[in-house]
Structures are given as structure tokens and as C-alpha cells.
A and B are shown apart, each in its own frame.
Chain A
Amino acid sequence: MNRPRATIDANQAVAEIAYQTNEVVSIYPITPASPMGEWADQWASQGDPNLWGTVPKVMEMQSEGGAAGTIHGALQRGSLATTFTASQGLLLMLPNMYKIAGELTPCVIHVAARSVATHALSIFCDHSDVMAARGTGFALLASNSVQEAMDFALIAQTATLEARVPFLHFFDGFRTSHEIAKIEELQPEDCFAMLNEDAIRAHRQRGLSPDHPFIRGTAQNPDVFFQAREAVNPYYNACPELVQNAMDRFAELVGRQYHLFDYVGHPEAERVVVMMGSGAETAEETVNALVDQGEKVGLVKVRLFRPFSAAHFINALPITVRRIAVLDRTKEPGSVGEPLYLDVASSIAEAVTASAEGGRSLSAQVVGGRYGLSSKELTPAMINGVLQELTKSQPKRHFTLGITDDVTHTSLAFDPAFSTEAADNVRAVFYGLGSDGTVGANKNSIKIIGDETEHYVQGYFVYDSKKAGSVTVSHLRFGPKPIHAAYLISQANFVACHQFPFLERFDVLRSAETGGTFLLNSPFGPDQVWDHLPASVQKQIREKQLRFFVIDAYRLAKEAGLGPRINTVMQICFFALTEIFDLDRATAAIKENIYSSYGKRGQAVINKNYAAVDSALEHLHEVPVPDQITSDFERRPAVPESAPEFVRHVTAPMIVGEGDRLPVSSLPPDGTFPSGTTQWEKRNIADEIPVWDPDICIQCGKCVMVCPHSVIRGKLYDPEHLANAPETFRSAPSRFPDHKELRYTLQVAPEDCTGCSLCVEVCPVKNKRQTGLKAINMRPQPPLREQEAENWAFFESLPDFNRHAIETSRVKEVQLMEPLFEFSGACSGCGETPYLKLMSQLFGDRAIIANATGCSSIYGGNLPTTPWTANAEGRGPAWSNSLFEDNAEFGLGMRLALDKQIEYAGELLHQLKPELDQTLIAEILEADQSTEEGIDRQRARIDRLKAALEPLGSRRDVLDLLSLADELVDKSVWIVGGDGWAYDIGYGGLDHVLSSGMDVNVLVLDTEVYSNTGGQQSKATPRGAVAKFAAGGKVSQKKDLGMLAMTYGNIYVANVAMGANDAHTLKVFREAEAYPGPSLILAYSHCIAHGYNLAFGMAQQKAAVQSGYWPLYRYNPQWADEGKNPLHLDSKEPQIPLEKYIYNETRYKMLALNNPDVARERLKEAQEDVYRRWQTYQHLAGRSSEKPTQSSGNGGNQE
């Protein structure tokens, strides 16, 4: 059969098979497996059928636990069911997996393997998740490449039906799941040929049915449980052979022969590496190269890890083997070795005596090592290092690869110069910004090359962890032979830098090979550019004899109407310089690709991209490389010399992409890092920054309030401080009525601003002489950078305004409170972070924060730098992230601990009372800490208490009180997360915590989708909005979390939208924090996933409130205690039709464009939702608060 070639990634390849061969697909987003669910949902929404001509049921669940439960149920009814997951998600599935396997139920779960969070979360690859599932009874089948992922998805589906053992099919997250490669695409005919349909019907027949009832899932006692558990053995014994049968059938059908253990290398190898996953591809490339050099080395690629067939494994090894190195991509602290090592070691141990039992006898020395945790690179040089280590008489045991372990000295040395890169491959590396379209262009390029040539191709893409101004590095390989290089390109014959400023930030030519080509997007032409390059770049160009080309892609893109998206311009240059095709063919292929990629977005979009393609090459110029190094400047240091030592030595290398070279000793062993490091990472990502006009500013503080990155700040200070001000430092007389004598400055941090312009949009002041200007206006950053950086430094040196004198109920005055959350990596214009910043201003110096996994945990806690910081006294928010699903409980634990510590400290105070100042003790215990001043007085008392305790000696009660005394100052516990957490995965816990009555403050940053994983629907998603997993527009209405919480009666609940009413938001935060029980703030957070210019985020929030979609309210149980109605509506009844609000956003508009009839219906229903909800709230808010009296309650009966 002639199968088509497809240039796709493994997530798509696997999803295609899973979708074709299943009837029920339960999904839940988790990186890097989310795209598999997204594909399934998209195909189902398009009505694409599976193999049997019917559209599978695809259902998003509230968690991976829910997804596993759902497929368990579907399987029990006899359906073919599947799901996709990774990491923590797989762990949440474990209980069901034990059940599914225990009941001998055929199914396949596809896993894009990812690290399980330990000392830190990581979205990248290792096998710790998969290894955690090895006790479940699922078979574990590993694929190493994109082609194998598709092949093994089908082999797993085939084998599970025949073996009745469920399968976990896994492949490496990102490295394989997101790698684009050219593969032979399996066809429905292949699936039919492989699947045993009798087995499918038998599975269906085993399903629960009242027509032939039975009971499954009993509870068993000590008498039979054990025996019943052993009854599965025949199935597990038979499983490996059934898998091999499936592999053999597959080979007959498709031509690719796999084995349970595939050996490659010298037939008489003495040294053999054993491993699984994408690293085995690199190892294969290495072993082949070494064999070519005459070395007797080999590799066993483990396919079926569970059930582990020792016999098959031993048979796969050459009889000549003397030393084996087993490489595990996981870590099991405290174990003798990692799982694969243990299985291999015991298999070899058993094989020593196997001949006596009729098996093959084999004796070899086995060592094990760890590699690749969290996608740490594994290169041929490292594999070579392992194989060379095996030449030693006593090779190192339990080593690590690819890191420098200077603590327990596990790391294995290797020669980094060793390389196996194919000479006939083109290897291209591109540095770009997320926003400039570089990755998208490269994905298209690699698809074009894959589709239009006979070349094998590989595309792999690396992103940094910032959501705004993120740097991307694309690695493209193509050539005439299959590509096994599952590692980044370090010897590139083509390097493109799509961003000129990167030359000052990164060593972009590090990977350039001698004689290679360097393409630079440069505002400077071929005659001027040389002198604008840092000296080290000039030197590299000269020493590596690079051909150097420039193009002003930004100008061309702008002229073509593409704005900052330079992708098309750079793409045609790449094709022209690499000469893959002749130019006409390249142009035609790119245009065809533009048409297929963007065609449905309209002719105008096609036209502008075509225009860019047509005009680009005449502006591409080769730069004659001068004989001399002319520059006297170098790359900027990552952080200033004034930064703390840890930041200079640990954080700085991470910032410039050199974190790999940090040794183990430089990193904290328990995941504890210093706060407030974003201040040292000056990213300079804004093209324009706000500039203040002191003459017309009314100093209202609204711009400070909304700034998502805390880069615009106001200060009031004594005029005498201006004595040493920089020349360009601006100030104005105070417009604060009580502080007329002071000066005021509104200052921007120019190097931290992201240029979102939210501040300008909310500025209420217009210049009367030129109404297009406001009190702050966006101006180009580069000419202002130096001057404003100096001004910012001076501004920071000005004393903070006395917090005691600040009226914290006024937005105008809150701007004077120092934010303790600054310069985060959130999206430009983020709608969440202004709320967090406000919280940090009001309560940050005494806040403990439990943060659910999601956007806020990423911009809040993703290295290299983090935004939660401390004030001059060293106090600031203490922040931690546990998991996605447990955040409310995590925060409650903090509250319980604090309460217990306060209680114990109080008891100790009473115990020690006779030895201490009685008045002081009484004051401490009865302190009013409801104000800033009260808090500070208590802190002073605690200082006095500690001083008084010191002389009492090293007694247990004294030492304990000393260690707990600080807890007697009130702490503010905040539980923060997004709607995915609060409405879905964490709802059960949240509900419990809210019901507990404990004094915690829950802040839900409601973006109405799973923003961090790319916009999948949650139960907060509104009706009619398009989201991933709701491609046809969400059918049901948004869950009313606030109303659910109000039913408890003792929870403070509020709906806020800062853009609609900032004073209301401020009031709510203060009331919620002051409320002595649980409080829940639902904060409308505009988001990039809504699809509009976020500069208008606050205006859109206002529209949400005006339409009645997002009513502002407060429910305060204390008002009920005072005899008032506890619910207060703080916004007016709907003022504008819902469509005036929603159709500003792409998430709604795209449904109207895609399916106008459905969109109309959804709009109608959603408008009804608004009216109904408003009426309900109005009714509740207008209800009498009087309790029914006896007589009015049962009048009839009494008579």
C-alpha cells in the first residue's frame, strides 16, 4: 500500500490512531499532552468519524482523575476508550489504572512523558511519571521517535485487545511529542488490518449489561484476595508474546519490524547501552558511528518495559557482551538503582543460571545511570562517554550524565567535542521572539521541505518561560538519511537571528559552524551593520569565516501590513540562502503554504503575506566582512554587579541560557530560592513605554493600579530629596489635599515595562490643547532607556511614603504603597496580575500565598527570575505552589499551622508570664491588628518580647516561644489560582476549605479558560465562547461559583472587575481580608485567550459589567449579623446588550464567523442567562433580612 508521508509531530500522529480506534475519548489539558486532546476534540467537533464511521464521544473532564474514571466506566460498558495525559495527570489516574488493569480491561492511555513535580514543577521530559505507573498492572510500551509513536499507538491498541492487559503507551514529552518529523502516515486500512475485531466484540460482550447481569468490583477479604490477584498471571505471561505477534504482523503490513527489545550495533559487541525513549535514538546514532570506527559496542532499545520479558531481553543481547550500562530517565531517591537498571540487573543475575532452566546463559557486569531529567540534553558525546566508561575495569556505578555533580560526584565525564552529526545534513538554528512568528515560519518551512523533497526532516522548538517577550530557538535538520538526532543542534551551518537586540543578550553564534551562513534581521544596512555588532560577534564571524547577510525585515513586514510578524520575510530568505529549491519553486511552495495556513482567514491576509514574499529578496544583502574587529562594546552582563551573589552566580547564567553549566552545588537541594529576582533581569522588551506629563496629571493612581507588571509607580516625598535628582527626573507639586507641601513623581521602569499601554488607556486626563494626548503617553523606548533607567534608580532611592498615613480605601493613595509583586513574566497587558499586585501592596508584608498551578504559578514562580519580592525591612509575600488540584487544601494547611502556632505561642506566653512584663504580655495577646499601625505596634512588642526572652536561657519553652513569637503578628493567608483550579480540578477541595469557616482569602483569577495550557474550556467558560475543547462554542452556561459559595451563609463572597470599578475592587480586597472567616473573591481577568487588544482590557471589563454579564457584588455574612441583607449589588442593572460586550472578543466572534446560526442561538441563550441571573441576584439583594417569626411561620396549624 502506498501510504502518504506526513510532516507532523508525535502528538498529532498518536492522536490520529487513538481517535480512529476508539469510541470514547475523555480529555483534560496538561502539558505536553494537551494537543492530543485538542486534536480529538477538533475532529469530533468537525464530525470526523473513527474507523467504524462513527464520531467518537469526546468529553473534557474536571481533572485527569475524572478522565480516568470516565474511561473506566466506558470500558466497563464495553466501549473502546482512551485518554491522554502526562506527569501529575498520570498520577491522578493511578487509582483507576489499578482498577482497569485489575479487571483485565483492554485500553490504551497515551502519555507524553513529563517530569513529576518534586522540588519544583517542570513541564519537560523524563520518565518519572511513567515509572510511577509501573505498579498499576498496565503494560508500558515506549516509542522513541515520531514514527514509532504512531506505529506503537496502533501496536498497543492491537495488543491490548488480544492480551486484555491495558497499555500505557509513552513517548518523550516535547522531544518527541512536539518534534516535527516526516513520517509514513498509517491509514485506516492499516488499523483494520491490525485490530482483531472479534476481540473488540468480546470486550463489548464483557461490558456491564442488565441483559446479562454480573457484579464486578467486589470487596474481598483475606481469604481470597491474594489468590484472585494471582489469577491474572497467565495474561501477563502471555502479553509479551502477543505484543511481539502484533509487531510481527505490523512488520508484514507496513515493513517496519520492531521487537520487544531491539538490538543495534556490532554483532559481537562487548559494551552495550540499554535504554528507552528518544534518548535511544541519539544512542543509536552514536553506536552506529562508533561501530563504523571499529568499536564493538551496541544498544538495546527497550520497547515493552512492562511486562518485562527477561527472556526476550537476554536473547536480544549479543552473547559477547561483557559490560552493560543501563540509562534511566528518572530518579528514585533512596533506591539501589532506577527501575530499568533494576530490571536489567535482575534479568542478568537470573540469566547466570538460566541455562539450567533451559534459557540462555549470560554473564555481564551491569552499571546504571541517570540522564535527561526535565529534558536535560543527552548528546552523542555523553553516550560515547558512557561507552568509554565501560572500557574501564571498574566502570562507575549510578552515575549521572550531562550535569556537573560536585556534591556527590555522580557525574560521568565525557569529551564534548565528540560529534556524530551527519555531514550531508543541513542544520539550521533560528533565534526569534514568540511575537515575531519565527517558530510558526519554521514549522511551515520544515513541512514544506518534508512535503516537497525526498529529505528527512526534523523540527524542534525551544521556548523560554516568559509569556511576554519570550525568546524562541528553532532547530531544523534535514537531509537524505533518516534523522536520529534527538538533541539540539550545536553545530549549525545556518544561523538566523531574527532580533537584532539578541546580539547583546545571547551568544547566538555559539552554535555556528565554520564556513556557515549567518542571517541577521537588522535595521542597519550592509554598509553600516558591522559597527553595530558587539566585538565578540564580529570576532566569531571572522574566525568562523561565516557568510553574513542582513535584511531589514521589520521595515518590509510593516510595509506589507504584517506589523511585527517578520516570519514570511525571514522564511523566503532562509530558502534563498540554503538553496533547497530554486527560487521560483521556493516562492511557490511558500505561497502555497501561506494559502493553506492562512487562506481561511481571508484574502487580505493572503495578499499581505504574498506581498512580503515578493518584496523580500531584493532587500537581502550580503555583508562584506571587514578585516578588523571595530567594536569596543560587548554583550551586556545578564545582571548588574550590584546584584546579590546568588543572582550573579546562579540566576545570571540561567538568564543567558547557560544554566546547563551550573553545578549541583550551586543549587538549593530543597527547592528554596530567594524572592524578588525579576528586578535584576532587565529584559527591555517594550518598543514603547509610557512617558508622564506632570503638568496635566491629576495623580489619581489609576495607571499605577492597573499596571500588570508594577512598572509604573507613584511616590510622594519631601522636596529636599530632589537635590540630587538626575536632570531629566520629573516631579510635580502634590495634588494630595493633605500633603500639599510634598512633591509627586510618577515614574516608569523603562527596562521592565512590556509596553502594553493599559496605563494610557485608563488615564482619565486629556491634554486640553491636543486631545490625543493624555497625562501619560506611549513613546519609543530605545532613546529613553538610559535616561529613564537612571530616573528609575533615583526614584527607587526616594523614601517610601509612611504607610500609616495612607488612607488605604482610596485608589489614589494606594498607589503610594510599595508593590511586592513586580516585573513578572506574565503576558503583556495581563488581566490577572493587577489583582495580585494590589494584594501585595495591601497585605504583602504579612502574606502567605498558596498558589495553584497555572499561569499565576508560572509567572509567579518559574525560574530564572521570580516576581514576589520583599520591602526594605525584608518582609514580603511567602509564596509556594503545591499542585493544581490541591491548592485550597494547601492554603488551609498553612492556616491551620499558623493557628496552631499562634495558639501554642499564646500558651507559652501564659506559661512565661511570671517571668516577663505583664503589661507587654497582655498587650500582645489583646492587640488590635486591624490597621497598618496596629500591625507595626505588635511587631515592636514582639521585638521587645524577644529581647526579654533572650536572657532567660536555652530552656525549651523560651526557645520555642522565640521561634514562634513572630507568628503573633497577624498573617494573611491567600489561596490564589485560576478558574481551571477553582471551578474544575480543585473545586472539591475549595468547597471543603470554604465550608471550614477558617480565615483564608481565596482569590480566583477568572480568565474563563485554562489559559496556561492554551485556552481549553473550564466550567467558567461562558456560553457561546469558543475555546479549545469547545471548538463549536461552549454549549452550557458558566458555573456560578459565587452563588454556590453564598449558600453556605458564612463566606464573604465578591465579584470584582477592576476595569469597571477600581474603588470597588479595593474595597472588596480590604473587606475580604478583614473578614474573620473564609472569603472568596472572583476577579474578572481579561486574558490573551479572549482575543482582543489587551490595551483595552479594562474597557472590556467595564463592558462586561455594563452588560450585566459580570455583576459586581459583595456578600458579607457580617451584614446579616447586623440585621441587614448580606448581599449587596454594586453595579447597575444591564445597561447594554450582551452582544456589545462579547463581540469585541475573538472567542465569541469566531463562532459567529464559523457558524452564524449557532452563534445567534448561543447569544440569545446567553442574553437570557444574564437577565435571569440578574433577576435572581436582584431578588436576593432586595430580600428582607428579617427572620420569619414563629407566628408567621406556622400560622395555619396554630389556628
Chain B
Amino acid sequence: MVDLSTSYLGLTLKNPIVASASPLSERIDTLRQLVDAGASAVVLHSLFEEQITLESHQLDHHLSHAAESFAEALTYFPDLTEYNLGPESYIEHVRQAKKAVDVPVIGSLNGVSSGGWIEYAKKIQDAGADALEINEYYIPTDPKTDSAEVERMYADLVKDLRRTVQIPIAVKISPYFSALSNMAAKLEDAGADALVLFNRFYQPDFDLENLEVVPNLTLSSSHELRLRLRWVAILYGHTDADLAVTGGVHTTEDVLKCMMAGAKVAMLASALLQNGTIHITRLLNTLTEWMEEKQYESIQEMQGSMSQQAVAEPDAFERANYLKVLGSYHKTSPLTP
């Protein structure tokens, strides 16, 4: 019997498959399904800083708009006792999730500033979350903002969080840093217990019929995994923070590659939305079969086995490898005479 267990954020997990933040973690019934299917931990959907702020401003605007303007209608809405504008409903969800499942529950915050909303992290902790994943998401559109400022902002947020909570913190970042290895070190210094590579931005699309920019989110595919594999493999051994892969994990092979690159866990979202929660069970079964066939005794045995430090050709992860890829393309292209 192979040992699938791993450790992540100081938590012992029964296997390396974690359900990533997705609509499936928004409801308790689907959350249970994820765990029943074998997920070793669940990351809850994100509490968005902008969403809370936006809802607050919108509600205020519409309740105030046109009030006290006309003698017959000094307001247009009844004054309700309360609005669940803050994190309360989310916090309650954390509480319910903890009651509903017996695997670690990881709360998730999505934001970028160190504003008052950081207090929500403490509430998530107090609600029983085993760890916190912070999804840092910032598009630096202002030409006056340089990369150092952006990096400082990221690190400061992690520092603030570290001061606020005692539970482990995972930081989910994008690949768009000038010096990702250095950034990873900064985040670790700031207090990150794990790095989650990488978040997938909502990339806007163009609607050619209406000449409008429209939000668009497509599910991931396995080919997105390679970027993550590269960076996990590079970072492995250079940081004490745990590494996790999210984005592009669909198959058993994908999970194996993540582990070999050096990840402690592989997170799934798109694959579960496409195939249902039962997909976890299938992956675990085939993972076990593969390991048995290849005579691996444990997951931990393979973790980092193909990291940059461990492979025969460390430059495979660097520019030399780039040239190699191009060369192989030319050689194999059917269009090449």
C-alpha cells in the first residue's frame, strides 16, 4: 500500500489533492461531496476586498440617492436593521464548513491593500479555519508605479496578515514578477508559510459585435501546468515555504508532475467543475495504481525529485532549454521542407 500523505502548511494531509477555491466550495453540500470524493483539504471561495467595498458603496448610494429631495418621498426604501455587507456571511460559511467536513478548511481572502478589511482574516481564523490563503491580485496600470512599489505592497500585506493571525498563511500569486525567485523570498520573509503558484487572472475579452470589453473566464487546461511546474521546480530548495500548484492540474500525470517538481499539494478547480467531484476519486485511484506500478512507496519520496536542483540538467529550466524547445519545433514541424 503506497503512502499518499503529504504535509502542507504544517497540516498533515491524507493525500496531495486539495480542492482549490471555486464555486464548489461556496456551498456546504458540494463541499461535503469534495471531501467524500477524497479531497485532503478544501480551500474556500474567496472573500473579495473589492466586492465588499463595492457592495457597501452601491448600497449606500442607492439608499441615499433621491432621498430628502421631494416632500412626499423623503426616502424610497425601508430602513432595514442590518445588511450582511461585511464578512459575516463568509465567516458563517467557514464555521459551517468546519462542522461539515473532517479535513482542513483553508479560508481565502482576495485583495491587495492593507486596509481595515485585513481584520477579516482574524475573523476567519476565529471561525475555525485551519489556514488562510491570500490571493494577491493587482494590475499595476499606473505608469508611475514601479515594480519595487508593487513588490513592497505584496510583502506588506503578508506582514500585516502575519501580525493579525496565528494560523498558517499561504500566498497565492501570479507569475508576473520581474524577479519571481526574489519575490518568493520576500514573501517568505514577510511570513508566508506557503506559496501557491499561480492564480489565473480574469482576462477581459472583446465582444466584436458590440465593441465592448467583456469579462471572460475560461477553465484551465493541462498545458497551463508547465509554467507552474517550471517555477515550482526552480523555487524548490530555495525557499522554506511549502509550494502548491494551482491552475492546470487535470490528470493523474499532472498531479505526479507537480509532486516531482516539488509541490506539497496539487490543487484542482477547473477539472472538478468539468468532471464533477468524483474526479478526485478517479485521480486518487489511478495515482495509487501508477505509484504501485512504478514501485513508489510514498508521495513524499517523489516530491522535488525533478526540481531544478534534482535533475540532471538544471539549465533545462532556464534559457538554454528555451533554445532547445525551438530547435525541436523546427525539427518536427511538418511544414519544414
Chain B residues whose CB sits within 8 angstroms of the CB of A602 once the complex forms: 52-53, 55-57, 59-60, 83, 85-86
Is the C-beta of B30 less than 8 angstroms from some C-beta in chain A? no
Chain A residues whose CB sits within 8 angstroms of the CB of B82 once the complex forms: 600, 1154
**Shortest CB distance B223–A (Å):** 32
Q: How far is the CA of A463 from the CA of B89 in the complex (A)?
A: 40
Is the C-beta of B81 less than 8 angstroms from some C-beta in chain A? yes
Give the contacting residue for B117; candidates A123, A466, A603, A1014; CB below 8 A: A603
Is the C-beta of B69 less than 8 angstroms from some C-beta in chain A? yes
**Shortest CB distance A333–B (Å):** 27
Binary contact readout B206-249 vs A (1 if CB under 8 angstroms, 0 otherwise): 00001110000000000000000000000000000000000000
- Which of B67, B73, B81, B83 has the largest count of A CB atoms less than 10 A from its CB? B73
Chain B residues whose CB sits within 8 angstroms of the CB of A757 once the complex forms: none
Q: Spot the interface stretch: A18-26, A241-249, A435-443, A623-631.
A: A435-443
Query: Are the CB atoms of B56 and A603 closer together than 8 Å?
Result: yes
Q: How far is the CA of A1149 from the CA of B85 in the complex (A)?
A: 11
Query: Are the CB atoms of A437 and B64 closer together than 8 Å?
Result: yes
Chain B residues whose CB sits within 8 angstroms of the CB of A123 once the complex forms: 71-72
Residues on A close to B: CB < 8 A? Answer: 31-32, 34-35, 38, 41-42, 45-46, 123, 174, 433-435, 437-440, 443, 461, 463, 465-467, 470, 472, 561, 563, 565, 598, 600-605, 607-608, 766, 771, 827, 858, 1011-1015, 1026-1031, 1088-1089, 1091-1092, 1146-1147, 1149-1150, 1153-1154, 1156
Query: Are the CB atoms of A435 and B56 closer together than 8 Å?
Result: no
Q: How far is the CA of A1012 from the CA of B58 in the complex (A)?
A: 23
- Which of A41, A45, A1026, A1088 has the largest count of B CB atoms less than 10 A from its CB? A1088
Chain B residues whose CB sits within 8 angstroms of the CB of A766 once the complex forms: 210-211
Chain B residue, CB-CB nearest to A607: B116
Binary contact readout B134-173 vs A (1 if CB under 8 angstroms, 0 otherwise): 0000000000000000000000000000000000000000
Query: Are the CB atoms of B68 and A605 closer together than 8 Å?
Result: no
Is the C-beta of B298 less than 8 angstroms from some C-beta in chain A? no
Query: Are the CB atoms of B59 and A1088 closer together than 8 Å?
Result: no
Q: How far is the CA of A46 from the CA of B60 in the complex (A)?
A: 21
Query: Are the CB atoms of A1150 and B73 closer together than 8 Å?
Result: no
24 interchain pairs, CB-CB under 8 A? A434-B70, A439-B69, A463-B68, A463-B70, A465-B71, A565-B64, A600-B82, A601-B59, A601-B60, A603-B86, A604-B56, A605-B56, A766-B210, A1014-B73, A1027-B77, A1030-B78, A1088-B66, A1088-B76, A1091-B63, A1146-B62, A1150-B59, A1153-B83, A1154-B80, A1154-B83
With A1015-B73, A1146-B59 given, is the CB distance from A600 to B83 under 8 Å? yes
Chain A residue, CB-CB nearest to B66: A1088
Give the contacting residue for A1156; candidates B57, B64, B89, B117; CB below 8 A: B89
Binary contact readout B249-266 vs A (1 if CB under 8 angstroms, 0 otherwise): 000000000000000000
Q: How far is the CA of A565 from the CA of B61 in the complex (A)?
A: 10
Q: How far is the CA of A260 from the CA of B41 in the complex (A)?
A: 77
Query: Are the CB atoms of A598 and B60 closer together than 8 Å?
Result: yes
Chain A residue, CB-CB nearest to B49: A604
Chain A residues whose CB sits within 8 angstroms of the CB of B73 once the complex forms: 1011-1015
**Shortest CB distance B123–A (Å):** 13
Main secondary structure of the interface of B (DSSP, over half): loop
Chain B residues whose CB sits within 8 angstroms of the CB of A461 once the complex forms: 68
Chain A residue, CB-CB nearest to B75: A1014
Q: How far is the CA of A827 from the CA of B67 in the complex (A)?
A: 12
Query: Are the CB atoms of B59 and A467 closer together than 8 Å?
Result: no
Chain B residue, CB-CB nearest to A1147: B77
**Shortest CB distance B331–A (Å):** 44
Query: Are the CB atoms of A467 and B69 closer together than 8 Å?
Result: yes
- Which of A38, A472, A1153 has the largest count of B CB atoms less than 10 A from its CB? A1153
Chain B residues whose CB sits within 8 angstroms of the CB of A1091 once the complex forms: 62-63, 65, 76-77
- Which of B65, B75, B86, B210 has the largest count of A CB atoms less than 10 A from its CB? B65
Chain A residues whose CB sits within 8 angstroms of the CB of B61 once the complex forms: 563
Q: How far is the CA of A1147 from the CA of B84 in the complex (A)?
A: 15
Chain B residues whose CB sits within 8 angstroms of the CB of A439 once the complex forms: 68-69, 74
Query: How many B residues, CB 8 Å from partner?
Result: 40
Chain B residue, CB-CB nearest to A42: B78
Query: Are the CB atoms of B68 and A1031 closer together than 8 Å?
Result: no
Is the C-beta of B79 less than 8 angstroms from some C-beta in chain A? yes
Chain B residue, CB-CB nearest to A1152: B84
Q: How far is the CA of A1092 from the CA of B66 in the complex (A)?
A: 11
Chain B residues whose CB sits within 8 angstroms of the CB of A1149 once the complex forms: 59
Chain B residues whose CB sits within 8 angstroms of the CB of A42 once the complex forms: 78-79
Query: Are the CB atoms of B80 and A1031 closer together than 8 Å?
Result: yes
Chain B residues whose CB sits within 8 angstroms of the CB of A607 once the complex forms: 116
Chain B residues whose CB sits within 8 angstroms of the CB of A1015 once the complex forms: 73, 75-77
Query: Are the CB atoms of B55 and A1153 closer together than 8 Å?
Result: yes
Query: Are the CB atoms of B60 and A605 closer together than 8 Å?
Result: yes
Query: Are the CB atoms of B59 and A1153 closer together than 8 Å?
Result: yes
Q: How far is the CA of A46 from the CA of B27 in the complex (A)?
A: 28
Query: Are the CB atoms of B80 and A1150 closer together than 8 Å?
Result: yes
Query: Are the CB atoms of B89 and A435 closer together than 8 Å?
Result: no
With A600-B82, A1091-B76, A1154-B84 given, is the CB distance from A174 to B71 under 8 Å? yes
Chain A residues whose CB sits within 8 angstroms of the CB of B89 once the complex forms: 1156
Chain B residue, CB-CB nearest to A1011: B73
Q: How far is the CA of A858 from the CA of B211 in the complex (A)?
A: 40
Chain B residues whose CB sits within 8 angstroms of the CB of A1014 once the complex forms: 72-76
Give the contacting residue for A470; candidates B60, B69, B81, B117; CB below 8 A: B69
Q: How far is the CA of A528 from the CA of B72 in the complex (A)?
A: 39
| B15-62, CB < 8 A from A | 52-53, 55-62
**Shortest CB distance A699–B (Å):** 20
Query: Are the CB atoms of A827 and B66 closer together than 8 Å?
Result: yes
With A123-B71, A601-B63 given, is the CB distance from A1089 to B76 under 8 Å? yes
Query: Are the CB atoms of A467 and B70 closer together than 8 Å?
Result: yes
Chain B residues whose CB sits within 8 angstroms of the CB of A34 once the complex forms: 72
Chain B residue, CB-CB nearest to A462: B71
Query: Are the CB atoms of A1153 and B84 closer together than 8 Å?
Result: yes
Q: How far is the CA of A1029 from the CA of B71 in the complex (A)?
A: 19
**Shortest CB distance B207–A (Å):** 10
Q: How far is the CA of A758 from the CA of B117 in the complex (A)?
A: 36
Q: How far is the CA of A1013 from the CA of B73 in the complex (A)?
A: 5
**Shortest CB distance A936–B (Å):** 41
Query: Are the CB atoms of A604 and B74 closer together than 8 Å?
Result: no
Give the contacting residue for B66; candidates A41, A174, A435, A858; CB below 8 A: A435
**Shortest CB distance B189–A (Å):** 30
Q: How far is the CA of A437 from the CA of B81 in the complex (A)?
A: 22
Query: Are the CB atoms of B57 and A605 closer together than 8 Å?
Result: yes
Give the contacting residue for B69; candidates A435, A604, A1030; CB below 8 A: A435
| B102-140, CB < 8 A from A | 116-117
- Which of B55, B63, B70, B84 has the largest count of A CB atoms less than 10 A from its CB? B70
**Shortest CB distance A343–B (Å):** 32
Give the contacting residue for A603; candidates B58, B65, B116; CB below 8 A: B116
A827-B66, A1014-B73 known; 14 new pairs, CB 8 Å cut-off, are: A32-B71, A434-B66, A438-B68, A463-B68, A465-B71, A561-B57, A601-B63, A602-B53, A602-B57, A602-B59, A605-B56, A1012-B73, A1026-B78, A1146-B59
**Shortest CB distance B16–A (Å):** 35
With A123-B72, A604-B53, A1153-B59 given, is the CB distance from A1031 to B64 under 8 Å? no
Give the contacting residue for B85; candidates A45, A1013, A1153; CB below 8 A: A1153
Going nearest first, the 5 A-B pairs with the smallest beta carbon separation are A434-B69, A602-B56, A1014-B73, A439-B68, A1031-B78
Query: Are the CB atoms of A434 and B68 closer together than 8 Å?
Result: yes
Chain A residues whose CB sits within 8 angstroms of the CB of B81 once the complex forms: 46, 600, 1154
Q: How far is the CA of A565 from the CA of B86 in the complex (A)?
A: 23
Q: How far is the CA of A1011 from the CA of B77 in the complex (A)?
A: 10
Q: How far is the CA of A123 from the CA of B73 in the complex (A)?
A: 12
Query: Are the CB atoms of B72 and A1013 closer together than 8 Å?
Result: yes
With A603-B117, A1014-B74 given, is the CB distance from A771 to B211 under 8 Å? yes
Q: How far is the CA of A766 from the CA of B206 in the complex (A)?
A: 14
**Shortest CB distance A1153–B (Å):** 4
Q: How far is the CA of A32 from the CA of B62 in the complex (A)?
A: 23
